[in-house]
Structure formats: C-alpha cells, structure tokens
C-alpha cells in the first residue's frame, strides 16, 4: 500500500497536452464549442494557436485584406445554448476580421460599464447588465456573464434586440494575457423601422497581448433577412465595416 503514491506520480505526470485545431475555421468553432470548458487548459490551447495566426497578419492592410470568411457553425458547437427557433445555421453570412488594438487586454477586460455606447458606434442605446462576475473588471475572477439591451440604427433600419455576452480571461502558452468573448441571441428580432429581421446572431471575439497593445480577432455568424432581399455580399461588406468601426470605437473609448 505504501508504494501506491509513488506509482501514481508518473501516471499523473503523463496527462496528454490539450490539442486544439490550427486551421482558422476549425479553431473558431473550437473556441465557441469549448468556451465553458472546465479545464482552463482547453481555452488556453485554442487561444495559443490563434495567437500564432495573429502574428502573420498585416495590420496596416485594408479591412478586406484583413478579413476572411470562416466556415459555418454546426449544431454540435452550440449544444449548451438556446438557439432561435426555426433557424438554420447554414443560412448565416459569415465574416471575420483581424485588428490591432493600441490597448492591452486588461484595459478591454476592464470596460464592463452599464453604458456601452462609447464603444458601439452603430447603437443608439446599449445597456449592459452583469449577471455574474462583478470581480472581472478588477481582474479578481476569470468569468463575466452579461445581458445586453440595445438598439442598432443605420440608413436602412432601426432594431431593438437583446443578446447574451460572456467573457473569459485566459493566457497563452508563452504567458501572454488573453481573453475570449462569446455573444449570441436566443430569439429572432424584427426592425421597428425598415424591413430587417435578425434571425440569428453568433459572435466570437479574441484578444491576445502584444508589445504595443493587443491583437484582436472577431468572427461573426449572422442571418439577417430583408424585404426585398439584399445580396449576401452587401450584408458581408456592411458587417465587415461595422466590425472595423466597432473596434476603432472601443480603442477611442479606452483612450
């Protein structure tokens, strides 16, 4: 019996490292699927692999060059969430963007204000309620869950909707600060001005520390319908521009 602890030591030391995908689309889906993984090493592995991809981006390029179309989400990626009824994940318009922020991850993590308008240029109202994690902004805990009530407005429509948005602090394998955010809607919303109908929306955000601030990645999967219909390439272009504007506004708010 006395030999048992000695025998367990090498066994416990042989736990295989967590493996995460290295291809961008698979990695984005992995970070969505594993956001709430109990083992923090799972999220760390995913963010570490994304950090490698972030190093190869030309952040001086225009938004089209810094953008790509990631693969669609699948039902297995969203098993823990409530999906809007009568929606099909194959119908989302998918676009992602890389961005260089001049502020560190800790500064982005600290912006948990109830009023989010300074960082949301397309919103006319944006109120955030903290559901869990009052200690997140100060860095005393690693998980923040929020509920957000907002109205977005542009030349085509005005729409009030709500979404859930969660944040988790993490680190990369080389010790840099990281953060992952995951936002989603649980129902569909119709515009009160215009004909837009937000059928479903899923958004992944990742921040990784850099020498001059942080590197950001956002992937957006959304289905918005119009009457008359609007071409998907127009929706993707508008979404891409909106992501860029939002990231710039977040930096300005933190200034």
If you average pLDDT over residues 205-223, what whole number do you get?
A: 98
Provide the 3-class DSSP secondary structure of residue 33: helix
Overall fold of domain 18-254: Alpha-D-Glucose-1,6-Bisphosphate; Chain A, domain 4 (3.30.530)
- The answer to whether residue 85 scores a pLDDT higher than 50 is yes
Q: Where are the domains of the chain?
A: 18-254
Tell me the pLDDT band of 21, cut-offs 50, 70 and 90.
very high
pTM summary value: 0.92
pLDDT at 45: 98
Q: Are 35 and 182 in contact (CB under 8 A)?
A: yes
Instruction: Give the pair of three-digit tokens for residue 123.
Output: 């919103």
Q: How far apart are the first and last CA of the chain?
A: 62
Tell me the pLDDT band of 11, cut-offs 50, 70 and 90.
very low
Q: What is the mean pLDDT of the chain?
A: 93
3-state helix/strand/coil string of 36-104: CCCCHHHHHHHHHHHHHHHCCCCCCCCCCCCEECCCCCCHHHHCCCCCCCCCCHHHCEEEEEEEEECCC
């Amino acid at each position: 019996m006395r030999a048992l602890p000695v025998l367990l030591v090498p066994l416990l030391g042989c736990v295989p490292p967590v493996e995460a995908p290295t291809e961008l689309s698979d990695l984005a889906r992995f970070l969505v699927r594993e956001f709430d993984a109990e083992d923090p090493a799972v999220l760390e592995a995913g963010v570490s692999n994304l950090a490698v991809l972030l190093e190869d981006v030309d952040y001086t390029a225009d938004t089209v060059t810094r953008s790509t179309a990631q693969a669609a989400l699948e039902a297995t990626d969203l098993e823990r969430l409530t999906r809007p009824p009568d929606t099909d994940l194959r119908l989302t318009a998918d676009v992602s963007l890389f961005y260089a922020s001049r502020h560190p991850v800790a500064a982005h993590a600290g912006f948990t204000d109830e009023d989010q308008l300074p960082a949301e240029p397309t919103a006319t109202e944006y109120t955030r309620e903290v559901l869990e994690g009052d200690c997140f902004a100060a860095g005393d805990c690693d998980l923040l869950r929020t509920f957000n009530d907002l109205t977005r407005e542009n030349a085509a429509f005005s729409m009030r909707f709500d979404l859930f948005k969660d944040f988790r602090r993490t680190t990369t394998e080389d010790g840099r600060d990281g953060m992952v955010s995951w936002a989603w809607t649980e129902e569909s919303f119709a515009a009160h001005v215009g004909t837009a109908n937000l059928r479903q929306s899923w958004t992944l955000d990742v921040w990784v520390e850099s020498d001059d601030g942080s590197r950001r990645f956002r992937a957006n999967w959304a289905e918005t319908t119009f009457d008359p219909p609007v071409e998907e390439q127009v929706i993707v272009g508008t979404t891409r521009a909106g992501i860029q504007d939002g990231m710039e506004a977040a930096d300005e708010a933190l200034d």
